[in-house]
Structure formats: C-alpha cells, structure tokens
Amino acid sequence: MRGTDTGTYRDGWGVPHLRADSADELARAQGRNAAVDRAWQIEVERHRARGTTAAFLGPAAVAWDRFARQACLEDTARRCMDTLERDDPRTAAWVRAYVDGVNDGLAEGAGRAPEFAAVGLSPGTWRPWTPLAVWLSTHILFAGFPAKFWREAVARRLGPEWVGVFATDGPGTSGSNGWLVTGERTATGAAVIAGDPHRFVEDPGVYQQIRLACPEFDVVGLAVPGVPGIAHFGHTGRVAWAITNAMADYQDLYRERLRRTGPDGTGVEALGPDGWRPAVRRTGTIEVAGADPVAVEVIETERGPVIVDGPEADAWCAEAADGGDLPDGADGAGTRWAISLRHPPRVRGDLGFGVLPALLRARSAAEVDRALEGWVEPVNVVLAADTAGGTLHRVAGAVPVRHPDNRLRIVPAWDPAHAWRGWYGPMPRARVEGVAVMANQRGIAAPLGVEFAPAHRAARIRELLEESDRWSAGAMAAVHRDTLLASAAPLLALLEDAEAPEGPGGPGQEPGRAVRGLRERLLRWDRRMDAGSADAAAFAAVRAGTVRRLADHPLLRPLADLPPLPEVLRPWLALVPRVGYALEHLLVTERLPLADRVGAVRAALEEEAARRAAADGPPARWGDTHRLAPWQALPDGPAGSSGADGGPGPWPGLSGDHDCVQASSSVPGVTDLCFRASAARFVWDLADRENSAWVVPLGASGVPGHPHHRDQLPLWLRCELAPVVTRWDRLAPEPAGPHDAPSDRGEP
C-alpha cells in the first residue's frame, strides 16, 4: 500500500479491497468492480428482475419471466427508488453512484465473460432502480409464500389437523446458522460472531467477499453482486453483524374475483371489501430465443399483483367458493377467479435501502440496532457485537398486522377481516448472555411466523459451544464442520421395530442375513453424515425408500395430484419432496398407523440390503451420490463444461445433510444431489479483525477459467476458512491483468 492511494487491491484469493476518497466514489468503485468481476452474473440478475431472460436463455426461462412480469418486480423497484429519492436523497445518490460504476465497467466485464458470446447477449444499461430490482428478485420467494398453496391443499384434501404434520422447513431458498460468543467465553475477552447462510449454491456465488474503505468507514464483508454496500454480514473493525432468515410470514395470497369491463373488454374490476373496484391492467410480450414471443397480461388489484390466473386460479379457488362466502352477484357471468400477492415492498414503496450505508458507518452494536429500524425485506434475525462489549440479538424487517388466517391459507379479497392493519412492532429482541444461537428455529421470531426449521442445528451449535469457555476465532471451523444428524432418530427408532425376515433363500445366504446385517450397522452408526461414510449412504438410501413409500400411502395419496400452478411455484406442491422434508414428523405422527410406518422402513431396509448384496465392489459412500450441484444460468457452462474444475465430469461429494450444522441439502426420495448449502462461511473476531476468516463455495471471480473462479472450493469442502487480510501492505494493487494475482494466499 502506498500511503493513501485509492483504487482496487487484491489479496491472495483475488478478493477485491476497494479504497476511495468518499462514500459515493467508493460506491462507484464497488459497482465497477461488480461489473468487471461478475458481469455475466449481474446482467442475468438484471434480466431476471425485468422478466427478460428468455430472450437469451430460451423457452426454459419463460416461466420465470412471466412470474417476474406479473409480480411487478421492476415496477416495485422503481417505486422504492422514487421513495428513496424523495425521503433519503443522500442514499439515493449513493445508489446512483453504484449504478454509474456498473455501467462504466460492464463492457470490460462482458469482454472477459465468455457466456455473453455463447448466447449472443450484449450488456445493457443499468438504471437507478436496478440494484433494488435485483435485491427484490433475489428475495421475492425467500419467505416461501407458495407454501400457502400447499397448506391449502393439505387442509382441504386431508383436513386442517394435518397441516402441522407437514410444518417444517420445506423447499424454500432460505436458511442459515449464526452464533455469537461473548467476551467472557472467549480466549481474548472480545466477542466472536460466526455462521453460514444456506442458500441455493450458484455459480458464480450469491455472496462476494469484499472490502470497502473510505475516510468514513472501512468494512469487510459479504456483498450481493449488483447491490451496493454490505447488507447481511460485515465487520467494520469496531462492530460486526450477521443475519439468519427469521422465517417470518409477511406475504399474503388473496382469492380474487375479477370481471372484464368496457366496450372492448380491456378493463378489469376486482371485488374488494368495498365492492367492485378498478384494477390496473397492462399487456406485454416476452421475447424468446429460438421460439415465438409469448404474450403476458399483468393485472393488479388493490391487494396486489395477480400471480395466478385462468384455469389454474379456477382450480384453486372454485372449491373454496363452495363454502358460500361469495357476496351476491359475485359469481355472475363474465366473472373469473385469480390469486394476488401482497407483500411489504409493494405496499410501502420501500425496500429499506437506507439501512445499507448506515450499516457501513456503524461503530457500535447500538448504531447497528438504530440502522436496522428501517429494514424491510427480507425479515431477518440479527446478531451484532462491538469492541466495547456491546451485543445485539433482534429481528429486523417489516411484518404486517392482519388476521391469523392470512399466514396460513389463501384468504378472500372481499372480506375486510383480512385487510392489513399496520405493522408489527416493536420487533422482538433478546438479551445475549454468554452465547446466542440462531438457526431458523422457533426462537425470538416465533410471534412472526408459521413454519420454522427443526431445532436440531441450533441445539447442536449450542451444545458444541458449551464445551469450552476459551473460544477463539480459529476454533470456530470445528463448529461449521459438524455433521451429526439428530433428525435421524425417528427413523432409527422405527428400525429397531423393523425386525429382519427369517428363512432360506438367495445366492449362498439367507436374504434375512443381509437385511439383519444392514439393520445392525445402522443401529450402531454414529449418525454422522460424512462424505466418506458408507453407513451414512446406507441411511440416506433407507430414508429415501421410506419417503417414497410414505408418499404412496393411501392417506397421503390425495396430495399426489393437486391442481396446477405456474411453473415457478410448483416445487412447493411436489408430494415426494414434501414428505421428505416432513419425514421426521410423519414417522412419529399417530395419524399414520404405526404398523404402516414400521412397514415403510422395513421395506426400504430390505430394498437397500438387496441392492447392496447384488452390487459389485465396496459399498457406496455418502459423498458418491451427495454431490454439489450449483445453479448456473447456462447449465452446461459457456463451453459445455460443468465440473468442479471447469471441465467435464461430476462436482465433488459433500459431507453434511439438511439438519446438520454442516448443512448441505438434498431432496430425500428424489435425489442425493445438493442444491442448497453454505453460500459462505465466516468468523468475525472483535479482538482483531485480522484474525477473522471466511470462505465461499467457489471463488472471488465470476469469470470461467480465471485462477480465482473456483480456487476456494477445496477449502470450502473441508470446512476450512481463508484469512481476512486487512493490512494494505499485504495486498497487491491493480491495474493487473485479469489472470494476474498475488501468489501468497496465506492459506490456513
């Protein structure tokens, strides 16, 4: 580092360290860096927010584009930017500076990214509201509002008493671990914060390691490419913070009654609490590469945008109408059903972006607390600690006050009982005493949600942290690495009742011997989902077989053929994954006969024993099938390659499972491939920021073939962390060629 030089610097892992003379100049530098390092990624996100990805990705992208258009994502971002311009012009100028930087660097970034040429895409122009649209698009499904369709189906097909049986963390995109150890429990006397957000693993990654430094602040953290600042995980040197998803419910679905108006039928009215009221209607066209354009109609009622219309809405709403709750005349000729979405950013015209620069300037846990009063989306549980010993454990975000049924089901738009009545407040908080743990469990956010993650991860983290009162930042990787699967207990308990069959048969041995042998191995298993464990693989196979058999149970079979939904929402309705995620509940509920539960486990055990007996070679290990499967906009890569090193072949095997601290989620009964896992891991040391550490699944660069594109993958697989470097004299300044990088990585 040369004095107070500004510009971009890199550590040994290619992580950008940006320095500027003002916050706005720094925002511009951050935008330019995102464009140069992640051009393809941020342009895909811009198009996703606009609903224009099919124009270069083809017919497979039409479903998302239709949803993005109908949900009015870009228009909502425009409204939120207008609010920011009016109420917080300083932050608005900061966002505009970021956008200027993106536009300045996109041509250079696109020239480095082969994906643009592969699909014939030219970089576009970012608008002031584009970062807000990217944020909204990334998080619109985060709170899992499609689960209300599932709960609706369960209540109507099986009965309301069954809803709780399936109430567990489902096929959403959210999750995370986070923990705070106060100074009295550490070796240095200063707090340590650690954790890992669980999201769909993407290539390039959703979190970018970065440092932002100017005279006002100097922050390291995990940024979202395409969005200025550091929202979720950051360390200013004086205060550090981290979040997990609060699992709050703040998005509602309304059963709407619509009718056409006007001489040409282009007008639309919607039935609300005050009768028939005009709805907003417009039309558009989705351009599709290699196929004909697709017309899309966008309708918005006073509740919100219509996201399900036509025959799909009829199938979901007509049955509810049989209950007779429609007002007189509402089912007359020319009327039809629709389902609308109501969510806070659309209602408030605010995404909470004023919080982002306030977090960067925070110097204490109290200032983080004050900054978060303006947070909107998504609703998070926050941990923070500062160098003076201050701590924070609270929920942040906007949750509407409304009828309890709104959280559970699709509710009638015309019933005033289901209108929003202000905002929940004050948001829940808790005192930090020794250790605080957040892992999406039913904790301080319980008043705000319906479904929470099982308590296993949170309980296991707390159990591990109780083993010492001299914790250091370097020791936290052992917590990240833990693979104990506590949720295996119900299946293993039924396995004890699943006695193996007796009798002769089979080539050279009794068939019962193989079954008994496998059963005994599983009952002795240490319940650790390690990649190299054959017993973990056997358990996963028996679990998958159990899931498939329960999904075919006569009591659950009515959920196998549900009314259709738009493609984007369908994953929430798939029966086998739903049974897989709820397996722990289903194996203990008295609503399924005990004999049937034991029978499903026994049949799955016999099936796996037979498969193993017939197989050649040693038994499979968990990591043989539990492999990383990152999401890529171009599934086969720009040159037809998709392996871990950028070439052909499979991605590596993983340790962990959904309910392990080392969370790596598959879909039991469907696939062992892992789509959701730790999108980053971090440890923030409040004694010395230089002792902090982090890692992402792939690397700092979003450019295929770059030395830092996937160089962190080996560390991530081992649950090891790279050091956070903050000394400027240990960083290499740019300009440097796109493939040049310092050689001293400072590996652990």
Residue 284, beta-bridge partner list: 296
Place of tokens 């979190």: 207
Place of tokens 């679990």: 543
The angle subtended at Cα 160 by Cα 156 and Cα 163, nearest 5°, is 100
**Which pLDDT belongs to residue 334?**
85
| Residue pLDDT, tens place only, 158-189 | 999 999 999 875 544 457 999 999 999 999 99
**Which pLDDT belongs to residue 746?**
41
Amino acid code (one letter) for 194: A
DSSP conformation letters of 128-175: TTHHHHHHHHHHTTTT-TTHHHHHHHHHHHT-GGGGGGG-S--S-S--
**Which pLDDT belongs to residue 172?**
47
How far is the C-alpha of 366 from the C-alpha of 434, rounded, in Å?
18
Residue 223, beta-bridge partner list: 208
**Which pLDDT belongs to residue 500?**
56
* CATH 1.10.1400 residue ranges for the chain: 147-169+486-527+534-620
Q: Single out the residue of 559, 555, 530 nearest to residue 657, CA to CA.
A: 530
**Which pLDDT belongs to residue 5?**
82
**Which pLDDT belongs to residue 332?**
80
Q: Which CATH number fits domain 7-142+677-733: 1.10.439.10, 3.40.50.620, 1.25.10.10, 3.20.110.20?
A: 1.10.439.10
**Which pLDDT belongs to residue 14?**
97
**Which pLDDT belongs to residue 365?**
98
**Which pLDDT belongs to residue 363?**
97
* CATH 1.10.439.10 residue ranges for the chain: 7-142+677-733
| Residue pLDDT, tens place only, 628-638 | 999 999 977 66
Q: Single out the residue of 427, 422, 430 nearest to residue 393, CA to CA.
A: 430
252-342 maps to which CATH number? Answer: 2.30.120.10
Q: Is the dihedral of CA 726, 729, 733, 737 positive or negative?
A: negative
- Largest distance between two CA atoms of the chain: 83
CA within 13 Å, CB half, 279: 30
Q: Which region, left, alpha or beta, applies to residue 505 given φ > 0 means left and ψ of -120 to 50 means alpha?
A: left
Residue 628, beta-bridge partner list: 674
* Separation in Å, CA 437 to CA 52, 381, 445, 661: 40, 10, 13, 12
The 3-state secondary structure of 220-250 reads EEEECCCCCCCCCEEECCCEEEEEEECCECC
Stated as kind and residue range, the H or E segment containing 211 is strand 208-214
Peptide bond into 378 cis (omega under 30): yes
pTM of this structure: 0.94
Low-confidence ranges of the chain (pLDDT < 50): 1-3, 171-173, 323, 503-509, 639-641, 736-748
Contact 725, 12 (CB under 8 A): yes
**Which pLDDT belongs to residue 745?**
47
Q: Single out the residue of 634, 632, 739, 643 nearest to residue 118, CA to CA.
A: 634
Fold of 147-169+486-527+534-620: 1.10.1400
How far is the C-alpha of 256 from the C-alpha of 271, rounded, in Å?
7
**Which pLDDT belongs to residue 2?**
40
Place of tokens 């697989």: 717
Q: Strand 192-196's sheet: what is its strand order? A: 435-438, 177-181, 192-196, 681-685, 693-695, 722-723
Residue 337, beta-bridge partner list: 257
